[in-house]
Chain A
């Protein structure tokens, strides 16, 4: 079943030099039970997409889409209140910096209990509520693998290590029993053993609870170890999307290929200290976005046609937007 279906989402932000398309016809489809990676470099618009999904966008931004539905319901036609209600019960978001998204002066235990909705508790007399909340809270913490949770419940966010904090965020995200968890760069800056614990935890909640995860990151190693689908963004445009193994085996878009090749861990044939393959140039600033395919100035395959935005093309589940995709060479 399709949970989230976004077609041609465009979001414009006003700047000194006029309206800029921060997102340019983004497509994203997430089905039930999927771990979907949203990959893109800094500033490519990942967090803005997350904001657009949960409706946390400024009034001054112009947002349009051909389609934006959550389990068949049109999110764009809904009132803010209706939308909030759906988001609150169905979607949980984990942000990239756990410490700054937690309240610094409230104990972790109280913050966790606060997000446990009354509907998540068994029916019972109201005087049992506090006890039930506490029980449910410790269950959640147990589920995310936090030991000694009593002590942590009494702590403030800054008193505990980062990875425990992130586990707390995940526990809070699970509290409302959502259908989709959006994790915006949850392992940024983590040491590898902590990171792999968080990834395993997310994989486990996905498998055990059939929960979908939108995993936002540019950590390709983390992504490829857990995600089954991947959507690649470049400068606010979706360049390619499909099954993870398909993209890894045969990327069609030059950017996806460059991205995959930039991670030395994927390349078993790479001699130590040899130059890593990389695209020249830098990510353009938002004030100087190239017209047409935004990869143009950095793309080794670019030709004159590329000043027009390429249409989305599809081969089965695999979609890409490029005038001269990599499989064309073989013909």
Chain B
């Protein structure tokens, strides 16, 4: 089967910032290699500051890589071709609070990508917005709400709604479940798995929640200090972690499940 999304030798070097300091703190990411097929899920795990969010931004085109390439349906994504990418690879941000405009209603927030990228008329847009709100477990009347009227979990749903409203092929999500409550979280997980089955959506997500990572991902990428220290099939990594850091993660998780005493 053909790859939906594949990444070859992607690297990024952060040479901005603290140059005036003695210790020039350079952050280099990569090289990163992976591929997913339609309907597959890749989880990116790793410590805070290991470059996970940066990798996500490279995938959706918010940052430019220094070298390497990204292919969507075996076709190389070029910088000039941003529209194609924007329509097909959508991002859900870590801090949905900051990424939602406080001054306009959720309905308008969700309509924006439709206005920019589709020919739907006003009525059709509203129908699509309401449909999408329902898909993510909100109510049609949430259209009239403002950001401050929502709980953290509800904000995350709006962010997810905004990502799927254009029917993309790949969703990249930075900690999509962290702010969600258990009962709502399992709904969202189910919702994503369902969308994947129905639409063949590729899903790439960053998470600290190894329980969910193990449950829904097919592949894992473990990152530390900008490097991929281990990658492979989820079950293989949980059963036979090779790298020291991966072992620590898996053991810490196992210890929590079994209880500390």
Contact = CB atoms under 8 A, between A and B. Distances in A.
B17 interface: no
B137 to A, nearest CB: 6
Nearest to A281: B137
Interface residues of A, number: 44
A270 B214 CA distance: 11
Nearest to A276: B186
Contact of B184 (A41, A192, A199, A275): A41
Nearest to A189: B178
A184 to B, nearest CB: 14
A145 interface: no
B165 interface: no
Interface string A128-172: 000000000000000000000000000000000110000000000
B7 interface: no
Nearest to A277: B186
Nearest to A264: B215
Interface in A254-305: 258-259, 262-266, 270, 272-273, 275-283, 285
Which size class do B's interface residues fall under?
Answer: 35 or more
Interface stretch (A67-75, A77-85, A217-225, A323-331): A217-225
A297 to B, nearest CB: 12
A42 B253 contact: no
Contacts of A42: 151-153, 179, 181
Given A191-B208, A221-B211, A225-B259, A278 B183 contact: yes
B260 interface: yes
B182 A262 contact: yes
Nearest to B153: A42
Given A203-B260, A225-B255, A189 B182 contact: no
Contacts of A43: 151
B181 A193 contact: no
B54 interface: no
Interface string B207-226: 01011101110000000000
Contacts of B46: 191
Nearest to A266: B257
A200 B182 CA distance: 23
Contact of B183 (A188, A195, A262, A273): A262
Given A226-B260, A279-B183, A283-B153, A192 B253 contact: yes
B82 interface: no
A162 B183 contact: no
A235 B183 CA distance: 13
A190 interface: yes
Interface centre among A161, A190, A265 (most CB of B within 10 A): A265
Given A189-B178, A192-B253, A276-B189, A263 B153 contact: no
Contacts of B151: 42-43, 283
Given A192-B210, A195-B256, A275-B190, 12 more contacts: A42-B153, A192-B252, A192-B256, A193-B249, A195-B252, A196-B252, A199-B260, A259-B182, A264-B215, A265-B211, A266-B257, A283-B181
Interface of A: 41-43, 161-162, 188-196, 199-200, 203, 218, 220-222, 224-226, 258-259, 262-266, 270, 272-273, 275-283, 285
7 contacts: A161-B49, A225-B259, A225-B260, A259-B183, A275-B194, A276-B189, A283-B181
